[in-house]
Amino acid sequence: MMNHKLFSAACTLAGAMVLLTSCSLSDYSRIPDDTGFFRHMQKNPYPVMHLEDYWDNLDAAEWNNRVHAVAGKMQYIHIKPVTLDYFTPRPATAAHAAAVEHLRDYFQEQLDKRMKELDSEPGNTLVLENAPGKGVYTVEVALLSAKPARVLKNAVMQIPGMLITGGTLAAEAAAGNKEDMGYVSFGARVYDDHGKLICELGDFEYGMQSVLGHVGLDTKDYRPYAYQRRSIDTWVRALGELLTQDIHTRLYKPRFSLNPF
């Protein structure tokens, strides 16, 4: 009976921790704003977007006509390679620089994969173009900052999980820090076919530990940039939705994660 009560209490506490962490993953105040990438970064006034963003006073009807193929229009998009030109602070070591480049490459691979999936879906109006041109919108994506998970500290914090039912919750309450899982931020800009900036957006996310990780083990704790890759996966999905949906479509951010890998 005691074990059952302890388990129930641990599950309840885990649920509370998930709610707390899911509400504090993004910290828009930490999106780098001094790199020269953003021109109009501001608090997002629209409930449809879970990212910080700026929209120019563009013709909403034109955007919607493109994504809905009205009057033969299509959403022609050219996506430039993900860049590190605005990354800050610059990596202090060759090892860190290599890790950041690998993270950029992951961003590029996942973005290419998702855009090709959308391009090939039946009925989708997205058309990928290799270069700017008439009727083609251009998208720029930049990886702005990243910090790896504190692998050693995360490993040490697992020790209470071996002694106390409820996994790492006791350790998190006593010595946890939202930077233990590291963080990552990005920015994106969209230009129309005349080179006019019509949208820029960005996000800064701390790593989101899985539900299992709150009561036991999350393997991302032991892989320096695994949490950052999960954040990138979320952004890739959001960018795909942004480019292919009505301008007033609500974009949702995951509230919790079940995947410990």
State pLDDT tens for residues 176-218.
456 777 899 999 999 999 999 988 888 898 876 543 444 455 5
> What value does the mean pLDDT take over residues 27-39?
87
What pLDDT digit, counting tens, does each position of 73-87 carry?
999 999 999 999 999
Task: Please say if the pLDDT value at position 167 is more than 50.
Answer: no
pTM of the model: 0.76
The most confident of the ranges 18-22, 150-154, 229-233 is 229-233
Three-state secondary structure string covering the chain: CHHHHHHHHHHHHHHHHHHHHHCCCECHHHCCCCCCCCCCCCCCCCCCCCCEEEECCCCHHHHHHHHCCHHHCCEEEEECCCECCCCCCCCCCHHHHHHHHHHHHHHHHHHHHHHHHHHHCCCCCEEECCCCCCCCEEEEEEEEEEECCCHHHHHHHCHHHHHCCCCCHHHHHHHCCHHHHCEEEEEEEEECCCCCEEEEEEEEEECCCCHHHHHCCCHHHHCCCHHHHHHHHHHHHHHHHHHHCCCCCCCCCCCCCCCCC
What pLDDT digit, counting tens, does each position of 56-72 carry?
766 788 899 999 999 88
Percent above pLDDT 70 for the chain:
63
Higher pLDDT, 22 or 29: 29
Q: What's the pLDDT at 52?
A: 59
What pLDDT digit, counting tens, does each position of 131-160 carry?
999 999 999 999 999 998 865 444 444 544
What pLDDT digit, counting tens, does each position of 232-258 carry?
999 999 899 989 988 777 666 655 444
